[in-house]
Amino acid sequence: MREHANKKEFLDFHRKALGKVRHIPTVNIRNERQLAMAYMPGSLTACEEIRLDGQNVFEYTGRANRLAEVSNGKRVFEMGDVGPDAVLPILEGKALTLKLFGDVDAVPMAIHAETAEEIVNFCMAIAPTVGGINIEGIGSPDAFYVEKALSDVLDIPVFCDDRQGTAVAVLAAIKNSLKLLGISIAEARIVVVGAGAAGLASADLLLRSGARDLVILDEGGILGPSRTNMNVFQSEIAARANPKGIEGGLEDALPGADILVGLSRGNTITKDHIRRMNRKPVVLALSLPEPEISREDAVQAGAFIYASGNIENSNALLNIHVFPGIVRGVLDVRARRISDSMLIVASDALAAIIDRRNLTPDHIYPKFLGSETSPRIAEAIAQAAINEGIARIQMPEGKVFENTWYRLFGAMEHI
């Protein structure tokens, strides 16, 4: 990443933009009659209908397409605790991508909150305003606690795109990598470096998708029964992973590994680490802003496939590929929650965007600006929610894809 060279350009961009999203009217007021319709007494009529049936709020307001983007800024990439003021540019950037690539009205909400309970209380208080809630940049294990606590009591979907978005992206990339390796996920040996929100969620979804030989590490080494300093979520994953009972650090975990998933910190993987892996190693170095190992070093050490979080490179693996489609899909069918099977279906849809004939080591993951990414994911998510019985709105197959396409591209010819 050319951070120093681009710093002035980045700052000039943000200073000129003065916020990357803003509210615009959906209707206009040019006379007294229109004012009466939009405000008083027109609003009172809608209020009465909603009072009689709470679900009418989705028919008479913008709640159905509104998402709260909530963060306390406690865990922002490698910067760590930046606080609520400094996390706002990231929330605005995420809101912009959700609007442009999912036509979702996301509202950035940077909050002063020191504990998971405070975040839960805030989200509970604002829930009647939105159709879904995304928590971001609050760190682990708070992300797990908040997501579970809210999902247990709210009847709208609660996301943590650091978790679900990243996990879907990782699973899709691994599925396409396995096609090139010629092995199944059950046969693959996978090492996940990083046991925070993204690492644990990715490991969990991989295990639920059939992975058997999976090892996960944090800075203290391999998660396992001999570790006494794991949180409850790490302990749960550790009980399902590492079937060979390997102990130690990264050097002990990597021999014979087919796939390395980096979700930790920049510059923590060396060439020697890659050389310990199996023939044709797959290296997903996804730490931001710097990857665990550079493409050049990984390839020199023998990497067969390399992916990073750098949007300008081939195999750019970011959860913003995934998240707009997920949110679009659940909002369109008004799903009550997000399930693991919905995420797995989303990963299938994402992986399938690349035709098998076009799959190469430098092309295991769709380009971010591909026109079908959000519509395909939205369709897959929506149909999975309908099939599971957690969608309030029934949509025929293909309808969410069609609606999403026209939301994003209007009457453009489908190509």
Q: Which of 7, 8, 16, 39 is catalytic?
A: 39
How many other C-beta atoms can be found within 10 angstroms of the C-beta atom of residue 20? 18
User: What is the torsional sign of CA 184, 186, 192, 195?
Assistant: positive
Check: CB of residue 159 under 8 Å from CB of residue 106: no
Active site residue 145: no
Distance of alpha carbon 22 from alpha carbon 105, whole angstroms: 10
Nearest CA among 342, 347, 344, 398 for reference residue 375: 398
Using alpha carbons only, what angle is made at residue 333 by residues 330 and 336, rounded to the nearest 5 degrees?
60
Q: Which of 8, 60, 74, 94 is catalytic?
A: 94
ω before 289 within 30° of 0 (cis)?
yes
DSSP string, 196-234: SHHHHHHHHHHHHTT--EEEEEETTEE-STT-SS--HHH
DSSP, collapsed to helix, strand or coil, labels residue 261 as strand
Active site residue 39: yes
State the number of CA atoms in the 13 A half-sphere of 41 facing the CB: 2
Check: CB of residue 328 under 8 Å from CB of residue 322: no
Distance of alpha carbon 234 from alpha carbon 228, whole angstroms: 11
**Distance in angstroms between the alpha carbons of the first and the last residue of the chain:** 33
Check: CB of residue 2 under 8 Å from CB of residue 289: no
Distance of alpha carbon 12 from alpha carbon 309, whole angstroms: 23
Q: Which one-letter amino acid corresponds to residue 264?
A: S
Nearest CA among 194, 179, 160 for reference residue 348: 179
Q: Which residues pair with 70 in a beta bridge?
A: 109, 135
Check: CB of residue 216 under 8 Å from CB of residue 241: yes
Distance of alpha carbon 57 from alpha carbon 370, whole angstroms: 34
Q: CA distances (Å), 211 to each of 2, 59, 202, 236, 300, in order?
A: 36, 43, 11, 16, 28
The catalytic residues are 39, 94
